[in-house]
Structure 1
Amino acid sequence: MAAVFAPDFLAPAGRDVHVTRHFSPTSGIYAEKDNNFHAEKPRQDLTQEATFCDWVSIYQTHTGAGLPVLSDGYFVRFDAEGTHEGTTLKKVRIEGSHETAIFIRSDGETVHFEGNVSKWGRPDNVFGYTFAQCIARINTILQSKGLPPFTAGKKGEVNTPNGWRTQWTGARITRLDLTENFAAGSAEDAYHFMRFLAAQQASRLKTGTHGQGETVDFGRGSRRVYSKAYLKGPELLKHAAKPNKTQTDFSKEYDPYLNDLANWCNSVGLVRFETTYKSTFLIDNGQQFLGGINMSKLEADFKERQTVFTRANCDVEDISSLDAKTLAVYRMWEAGDDITQKLSRSAFYRYRAALLPFGVDIAIKSNVIKFQPKTRVIKLEAVKMPDFYKMPPPSFVRLVA
């Protein structure tokens, strides 16, 4: 897989561009703990194989390093009186294959990175990489651009208004997305599960349903954390080219692998669960430093948020096998209609006999006596990677200038 990079836009030759620095928002003075102020390696607490990392936003300041300036132009801010307030460099969009992209910016000292590094340069990210593997991929990309890697830096304590706190001088994380796959068993059961999920409540987070019910989210617009579940098969097919479709210079090329993968996702009823941890949440929980991030702790929170998906088995009415006419009669009964006034005597008893095995007696109005229909249980299971899945090693990053 080849990745094509967009052109780099550096500061114009012979012209100084004064850039507002983006230093780490620290206050106070670092103190060496026990006179042993030394660099420490970042924690290597890897997430379990079932949990992957998608999007990462991270930055690090290398004071006085004289790094290459990497940007796609810059924004200049002036106040109402025309006084220059600051200049911010625009991020360079790094194009990858399969219409993927990541973003990098360097002002000569501070390097910023953001994007879905797990998906970058790949046709899909049904299965992805751990956080540690994603950082390794990011550092490989930075190296190709002549930029230093993100590191843990040095550990110390800083005096803040709330007392002494542990901080690191290395990279800081401002967004981190974790994700996990579940199997409902079939496409039909997956849709049933999403309807069940749409009626659930996750703490104080607002529940929303999008598309044709393929996506249910919790906390949209939150400044701290945002979770969602969606059906991966329909999502893949939505972005895939259709077979036997007339191709143009601007249309996507049909990829049988991607369509086979989407069909496999549908066959197992793959439900994707993702959680976005934003800067406020990371800071409040002491997870903003690359050197101090504790993935075991973060994953524990991720698992806790999954309880909205697994807090109870999903019981759905087992009426999917009914023919269209019998199902229509059931819906009329469920709405409270008097079925005896809707059908002939023979038809009434025929449909009554068909529905009684499901716990429904249309001879009694549903708004008079509540019958409990027969149900079947949809239980989410872990998902195993199919044999045909193409999973490049995390170190594989081929760059084409």
Structure 2
Amino acid sequence: MFFIDRLFMQQDHHQGDLPLVGTHVIERIELETGEHLPPSVNQKILEGSFSTKLTIRCDGTRVRVEGNPSRWQRMDNLFGLETLDECVEVFNNVLARYGLPPFTKNTEIYYRQSPNGKKAQLVGNGAEITAIDWTINHQVGEGKEQSYIRGMSSMQIGRGRKPKLYPDGHTCNWGEGSTWVMTKLYSKAIELKRHLLKEQRKKDRISDDRLNYIESLIDYCETKGVVREEHSLRQALIKRNNLQFYGRVTEADFHPYLKDIETAMNTIQISHDEHQSIADQLLSLSVVKSRQAANATQCYALMWQHGADLRKELSERQFYEHKARLKLIGIDIGQQFDVSRMCPTLRRSEVIDIKPLSIPDWYHMPVVSQSNILPFKAYA
């Protein structure tokens, strides 16, 4: 089930006289006429519990909030809020703390008068969605996250959006920098580890309860092989398809724009391969008793692959000793090496079966009423 991972909203109040909210304000004057223009206010960053952040801004007429309502005042957001109404409830609590009117649903939509030669724009009398991220978790199996992400990175999605696989193999983006839509796949356990490391570097010590919970969450994601799928719908797509009007659109209206990964998954079969070096195979089968002996035999096997005549390199006793070891894992150095028959290092190959991730019974699901009673402060 998709849930909302990030949401940018704004609403205009044409009557004005709203309190200015930001970190500083710039008053503007038209030099030729001396007319006072609307002030420019930058955003104020709010910090809640567990280092969560939202940004808020009001220039007297336009109220804007940006952030992740599913993460606000929570230790994590492996699972989040599934409805727009829940997200807006979180935002409205923040607006109320600053004496600003709440985001409201659109009850009317009409064309705004535009300058000559400009295309008429639809506007509403309520809140406008300017960006939204939708997220879903996939269970691919322990240790198979990289194989799945690398496999998916071999495909373009949507209308020719090319993949960008990050060097570590744990993240792949499609449409990075696009004003339309960006899609992402990444390993959730790796992301949680990076955030935990960042938290541990801070001066404030993480409580034992919180640390234990996050470590349990990382273990759960690693055991299940959790890969997160995210779709960042940008303003150009939202306005083109009239998805910006809160109250006039439902969660289901966004779902047709979240199918690119699912479509790609239905056309590709990804396998997870486990490889093992020659030395590791010798040790795992107890052909030799020490790493030193395994490495020595592996070294001679590599020399054989590169065309060396081991009968001339080794004594007769050594040659047959290493030959006997290697034959037990399917390599015969008594024969001339054939590049078309590579040495077996593939131990296992299996098709990755993608499943929806279940919610463990110990997981703390988001509760809007709880997040709205917790304190927060201005960060900058």
Q: Indicate the larger mover: 136-145 or 164-173.
A: 164-173
- Tell me the TM-score normalized by structure 2: 0.76
Question: Structure 1 CA distance, aligned partners of 2:309 and 2:272?
Answer: 27
Tell me how far apart the structure 2 counterparts of residues 315 and 325 of structure 1 sit (CA, whole Å). 22
Question: Quick one: distance in 1 between partners of 2:189 and 2:20?
Answer: 41
Q: Does 1:375 align with 2:328?
A: no
Stretches of structure 1 lacking an aligned partner (at least 5 in a row) = 1-49
Query: Contact between 2:38 and 2:59, CA under 8 Å: does it hold in 1?
Result: no
2:90 maps to which of 137, 161, 164: 137
Q: Indicate whether 1:291 and 2:244 are aligned.
A: no
What is the percentage of aligned positions where both structures have the same residue? 26
- For the 8 Å contact 1:233–1:266, the answer to whether it is kept is yes
**SS at 1:69 equivalent:** coil
Aligned counterpart for 1:196 among listed residues 143, 148, 151:
151
Post-superposition CA distance 1:229-279 (Å, at most 9, x none): 111111111121599x8x984454551111111111111000001010110
Equivalent-residue separation in structure 2 for 1:256 and 1:374 (angstroms):
34
The alpha-carbon deviation at position 137 of structure 1 amounts to 1.6
Find the partner of 1:59 among 1, 5, 10.
10
Pairing of 1:2-401 with structure 2 (within 5 A): 50-64=1-15, 66-75=17-26, 87-132=39-84, 133-158=86-111, 167-186=123-142, 188-203=143-158, 204-210=160-166, 212-241=168-197, 249-250=203-204, 252-253=206-207, 255-319=211-275, 324=280, 338=305, 341=308, 347=322, 351=326, 354=329, 364-366=338-340, 375-396=349-370, 397-400=372-375
Q: What is the aligned-residue RMSD (CA, Å)?
A: 4.0
Query: Partner of 2:79: helix, strand, or coil?
Result: coil
Cα distance in 2 for residues equivalent to 1:392 and 1:257: 15
8 Å CA contact 2:8, 2:130 repeated in 1: yes
Distance 2:50 2:127 in 1: 29
Q: Which amino acid aligns with 2:153?
A: A
Distance in 2 between residues matched to 1:376 and 1:273, nearest whole Å = 22
Is contact 2:10-2:128 (8 Å) kept? Answer: yes
3-state SS of paired residue (1:222):
coil
Larger Rg: 2
> What do the CA deviations read for 1:345-381 (whole angstroms, capped 9, x no partner)?
764675466359xxxx99542389xxx9973101211
User: 2: CA distance between counterparts of 1:279 and 1:98?
Assistant: 29
| Deviation per residue, 1:88-123 (Å, 9 max, x gap) | 201111111111100111122211010111101111
2:165–2:172 Cα contact (<8 Å) kept: yes
Structure 1 residue 77: Cα displacement:
6.9
Q: Which shifted more, 208-217 or 113-122?
A: 208-217
How many residues are treated as equivalent by the alignment? 341
Alignment TM-score, normalising by the size of structure 1: 0.72
Task: Compare 337-346 and 149-158 and name the one that shifted more.
Answer: 337-346
Gaps spanning 5+ residues in structure 2: where? 284-294, 311-318
Shift of 1:178: 0.3
Distance 1:251 1:75, change over 3 A: farther
Q: Is the 8 A contact 1:71 1:91 kept in 2?
A: yes
CA distance in 1, matches of 2:7, 2:80: 13
For 2:356, give the aligned amino acid. A
**Aligned 8 A contact 1:241 1:253 in 2:** no
Q: Per the alignment, do residues 130 and 216 of structure 1 end up closer, same or farther by CA in structure 2, a change over 3 Å counting?
A: same
Q: Alpha-carbon deviation of 1:281?
A: 0.9
Matches of 1:134 and 1:157, distance apart in 2:
25
Whole-angstrom CA distance in 2 between matches of 1:77 and 1:305: 46
What SS does structure 1 have at the residue aligned with 2:50?
coil
CA gap of 1:127–1:248, structure 2 versus 1, over 3 A, is: closer
Residue 23 of structure 1 is matched in structure 2 by none
Q: Which has the higher helix share?
A: 2
Q: Is the 8 A contact 2:150 2:165 kept in 1?
A: no
SS in 2 for 1:306: helix
